[in-house]
């Protein structure tokens, strides 16, 4: 099952404008889930002449059974928002926290769908 945890799923109803793969073809275990892929996605929402691009960043995590795409961050974050978020996550031990947060949300969402 694919869970979408974005306030308005229509905002991500298209292909991402840009994606960075943080982990691929992995076999990392978290709470009994085998993590296969972790992607950080950029969806450009609008552009302001003074503030620049308004970005919606999502994280997509695919497990051996289910997947979730959820909001990571959003706002006027500059032209390199996706790259800066990816760098932060990989340099500051943010990956494990990000994966744990996504798995917990996935489990909660799956319980509501049963």
For residues 77 and 18, give the distance between their C-alpha atoms in angstroms, rounded to a whole number: 15
The predicted model scores a pTM of: 0.85
Q: What is the pLDDT of residues 5-39, one digit of tens each?
A: 999 999 999 999 999 999 887 778 888 888 999 99
Asked if pLDDT for residue 95 goes beyond 80, the answer is no
If one counts the domains in the chain, the total is 1
Query: In percent, how much of the chain has pLDDT > 70?
Result: 97
Q: Give DSSP secondary structure letters for 60-86.
A: EEEESS-EEEEEEEEEE--TTHHHHHH
Range(s) of the domain holding residue 66: 2-113
* Burial tier of 85 (Cβ tally within 10 Å: 0-12, 13-18, 19+): buried
* Mean pLDDT across 57-84: 95
Give yes or no for a contact between 70 and 56, defined as CB atoms under 8 angstroms apart.
no
Question: For residue 40, which of 12, 13, 71 has the smallest C-alpha distance?
Answer: 71
For residues 9 and 56, give the distance between their C-alpha atoms in angstroms, rounded to a whole number: 12
Strand bridging mode 2-5 / 67-76: parallel
């Amino acid at each position: 099952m694919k869970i979408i945890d974005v306030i308005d799923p229509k905002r991500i109803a298209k292909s991402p404008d840009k994606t960075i793969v943080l982990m691929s073809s992995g076999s990392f275990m978290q709470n009994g889930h085998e993590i296969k892929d972790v992607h950080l996605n950029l969806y450009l929402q609008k552009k302001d002449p003074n503030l620049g691009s308004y970005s919606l960043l999502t994280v997509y995590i695919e497990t051996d059974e289910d997947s979730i795409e959820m909001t990571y961050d959003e706002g006027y974050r500059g032209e390199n928002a996706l790259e800066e978020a990816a760098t932060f996550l990989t340099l500051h031990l943010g990956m494990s926290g990000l994966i744990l947060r996504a798995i917990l949300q996935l489990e909660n969402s799956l319980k509501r769908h049963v």
